[in-house]
Amino acid sequence: MTSPIEIVNMSPEDYRNRKVALITGITGQDGSYLAELLIEKGYQVHGIIRRSSSFNTGRIEHLYKDAHENPKMRLHHGDLTDSTCLVHIISKVLPTEIYNLGAQSHVKVSFDMSEYTADVDAVGTLRLLDAIRTCGLAHLVRFYQASTSELYGKVAEIPQSETTPFYPRSPYGVAKMYAYWITINYREAYDMYACNGILFNHESPRRGRTFVTRKITCAVASIHLGKQECLYLGNLDAKRDWGHARDYVEGMWRMLQQETADDFVLATGEMHTVREFVEKSFKATGKTIRWEGSAEEEVGIDDEGVVRVRVDPAYYRPTEVELLLGQPAKANEKLGWKRKVTFDELVEEMVKADLVGVAAGDVFN
């Protein structure tokens, strides 16, 4: 491992050629796909994980079982609420790239845990940026901040681009707005290479089961296998721009390979409702869903006349984001990035994976 003394005599080019990445949130959906991508590209990957009494590394288990077996992956215990540990880890690892994916990322939960969400998602980003400066790496490290389409909230225009005004509608969105602007502020104030990736919804079989897309595909698989009767959802008419997480982590990496730091929207440019996601998911198991009723009394009925979907107002958000549709033209042009997986392919992949997982009793994610 390179020592701080050796760093003093390195040029910025030599420093970057070491290809050492540090990922917060490495155990999550995006972190696991990003770790795979970076290892494939020859990086030494380090991840920050929170202490837990149970194993929480299921998504990266295939990458990391023992440091002796895969020296390309190292994990460090830490937390975005602990400045001291962040400084210690960064000074020890001396990363060339930092990807800040760690967050309390559930929008509905952010209303129940607003203070914690602000501490991790907003101030946590500030702590990480300050840790980079404290370690004397402000002009050497390239920093990626995971921003979100939830910044747009009550949208000012359709579609949303890098210049669309923000109007967040949740504590999560508000916390992420602080993180977005503090990243830009440090870029401008301290000449740091710091980027925001404004990513629209991106899913995969590794998505947590509390998120609506994975909740749907897991329930559809369980219903198909006779292990569940009905799926309960909130707003069926919410519209989102859904892509595959594997495509989006490539966009993150591309942002840090540019000559100058900038902010980019990653999106598919097409929009679908939660209702459509439900229909496509059931279709992947050979079932057709028809809808009857309205509002909270609306139900989804299968070919045999059995009610498989119901609305539960408990899942409504206090302030709803009705639609999100991204305009990825800037990323297409400057990064050469385009999504590869279509909406239909995404849904089918998730349902197939959950059919296997539910049948095996393995639904860890």
Annotated catalytic residues are: 148, 150, 172
Q: What separation in angstroms does the CA of 287 have from each of 107, 208, 218, 234?
A: 30, 24, 15, 21
Element (H, E) at 132: helix 124-134
Dihedral of alpha carbons 206, 209, 210, 215, sign: positive
Q: Based on the number of CB atoms within 10 Å of its own CB, is 336 exposed (0-12), middle (13-18) or buried (19 or more)?
A: exposed
Asked whether the beta carbons of 281 and 302 are under 8 A apart, the reply is no
- Closest Cα partner for 34 from 1, 60, 68, 66? 60
- What sign for the dihedral angle of Cα 155, 156, 159, 161? negative
Burial 40-73, CB ≥16 within 10 A → b, else e:
eeebbbbbbbeeeeeeebebbeebbeeeeeeebb
Q: What sign does the dihedral 148-152-157-163 (CA atoms) show?
A: negative
Rounded CA separation 315/291 (Å): 19
Q: Which of these, 94, 7, 99, lies nearest to 47 by C-alpha position?
A: 99
Q: Evaluate whether 151 touches 166 at the Cβ level (below 8 Å).
A: yes
Query: What CA–CA distances, in Å, run from 109 to 112, 124, 290?
Result: 5, 18, 31
Tokens of 68: 């002796």
Q: Kindly tell me the number of DSSP H helices and DSSP E strands found in the chain.
A: 13, 15
d(C-alpha 69, C-alpha 279), whole Å:
43
In whole angstroms, give the CA distance from residue 229 to residue 225: 10
**In degrees to the nearest 10, what's the CA dihedral of 105, 109, 111, 113?**
-90
The amino acid occupying position 136 is G
